[in-house]
């Protein structure tokens, strides 16, 4: 029996700020900073300068302090990161999908960037946090009128990502998501677990048997992700892009190349186009293996960018 429901469906108008135009021709508009937006740009609304800046293969992002409700989630996804990718891979008014939306970072970014957003979350406590966050933000977008106004919708599903092919989800322009990093959150002994327990924050997602983070066999975990992302492929419009934020993990002294294995799996149906490396330089380093063995502090993630080529 399939079990899913729509928790929220917001419809609103948003205003997106644009720089002042100083020149307009048949092929481009030029702004006060000297940058230009060319009308042949079918992918996004970025200027030539913004486009080049995004092409750098690595970036440093240390997320801003999070809301108390968002802190409950043990693996938060920065809204700023989602916003950067959404701006590059979509135009204003297009639709973005996150099949594992957590506490709503992708949908918050969609609202801020003038995009429509759809998110699916397995666990009700996190889905409800998403809805409350959106309610708070949507309340600020009343009586919107004038220039640069876009009509958008934000839809939150409560359900299993394995069932997205049965949900009322339209064709999508772009997908961005971050899966569980295997079962690492249920592994005992991490210092972050101790600190989160002291603050009464969630250490792992749940005990739900449907939760991918509770699959302890590595290959079985990859199998489930591959099945889900095949369904994502079917929802994505031709030539649309799909970004997965993931990292390689260590377990019991062994490295599991999750990012690379997932890239290989998804390349069966998607075209892997490139990677961007997200570096975090504000994480306290620990002396793992000191005096005995090489054990690194892993403070980077892979943002794998795929395309549905036709």
- Tell me the domain boundaries of the chain: 5-17+57-307
Please give the Cα distance from 38 to 30 (Å, whole number): 9
Mean pLDDT of 25-41: 96
Mean pLDDT of 70-99: 86
pLDDT for the residue 214: 84
186-226 pLDDT per residue, tens: 565 555 555 544 444 444 455 677 788 888 899 999 999 99
- Given a cut of 60, is residue 293 above it in pLDDT? yes
Mean pLDDT of 48-53: 96
Pairwise pLDDT comparison (186 vs 53), residue with the higher score: 53
pLDDT for the residue 171: 98
Continuous H helices in the chain: 48-54, 68-71, 79-89, 105-113, 124-138, 191-198, 218-235, 258-266
Q: Could you give the 3-state DSSP secondary structure of residue 266?
A: helix
193 CB burial (10 A radius; 0-12, 13-18, 19+): middle
118-171 pLDDT per residue, tens: 999 998 999 999 999 999 999 888 766 667 788 999 999 999 999 999 999 999
Pairwise pLDDT comparison (264 vs 3), residue with the higher score: 264
pLDDT for the residue 55: 95
pLDDT for the residue 73: 45
Please give the Cα distance from 112 to 14 (Å, whole number): 8
pLDDT for the residue 90: 99
pLDDT for the residue 189: 55
Pair of tokens at residue 227: 């099945």
User: Partners of 75 in the beta sheet?
Assistant: none
Please give the Cα distance from 113 to 116 (Å, whole number): 9
pLDDT for the residue 25: 96
Q: Which of 65, 85, 77, 63 is nearest to 280 (CA)?
A: 63
Q: Which residues contact 75 (CB under 8 A, 6 or more apart)?
A: 102, 178, 180, 181, 185, 205
Mean pLDDT of 170-177: 98
Q: Are 214 and 269 in contact (CB under 8 A)?
A: no
Q: Which CATH architecture has domain 5-17+57-307?
A: 3-Layer(aba) Sandwich (3.40)
Q: Are 137 and 67 in contact (CB under 8 A)?
A: no
**Average pLDDT value over all residues in the chain:** 88
What's the angle, vertex CA 177, arms to CA 43 and CA 121, rounded to 5? 130
Phi, psi of 252 (to 5 degrees): 50, 45
pTM of the model: 0.90
């Amino acid at each position: 029996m399939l079990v899913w429901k729509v928790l929220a469906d917001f419809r609103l108008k948003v205003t997106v700020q644009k720089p002042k135009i100083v020149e307009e021709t048949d092929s481009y508009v030029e702004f006060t900073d000297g940058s230009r937006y060319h009308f042949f740009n079918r992918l996004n609304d970025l200027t030539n300068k913004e486009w080049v800046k995004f092409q750098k293969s690595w970036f440093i992002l240390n997320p801003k302090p999070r809301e108390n409700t968002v802190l409950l989630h043990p693996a938060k996804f920065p809204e700023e990161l989602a916003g950067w990718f959404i701006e590059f891979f979509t135009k204003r008014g297009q639709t973005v999908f996150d099949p594992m939306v957590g506490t709503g970072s992708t949908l918050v970014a969609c609202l801020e960037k003038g995009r429509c957003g759809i998110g699916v979350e397995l666990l009700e406590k996190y889905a409800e946090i998403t809805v409350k966050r959106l309610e708070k933000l949507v309340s600020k977008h009343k009586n919107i009128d004038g220039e640069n106004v876009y009509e958008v919708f934000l839809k939150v599903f409560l359900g299993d990502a394995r069932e997205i092919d049965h949900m009322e989800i339209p064709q999508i322009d772009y997908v961005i998501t971050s899966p569980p990093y295997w079962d690492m959150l249920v592994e005992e002994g991490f210092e972050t677990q101790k600190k989160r327990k002291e603050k009464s924050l969630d250490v792992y997602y749940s005990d739900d048997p449907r939760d991918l983070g509770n699959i302890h066999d590595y290959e079985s975990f990859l199998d489930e992700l591959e099945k889900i992302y095949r369904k994502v492929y079917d929802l994505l419009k031709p030539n649309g892009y799909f970004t997965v934020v993931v990292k390689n993990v260590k377990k019991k002294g062994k490295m599991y190349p999750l990012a690379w294995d997932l890239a290989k799996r998804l390349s069966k149906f998607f075209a892997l186009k490139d990677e961007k490396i997200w570096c975090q330089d504000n994480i306290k380093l620990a002396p793992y293996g000191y005096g005995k063995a090489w054990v690194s502090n892993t403070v980077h993630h892979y943002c794998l960018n795929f395309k549905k080529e036709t």
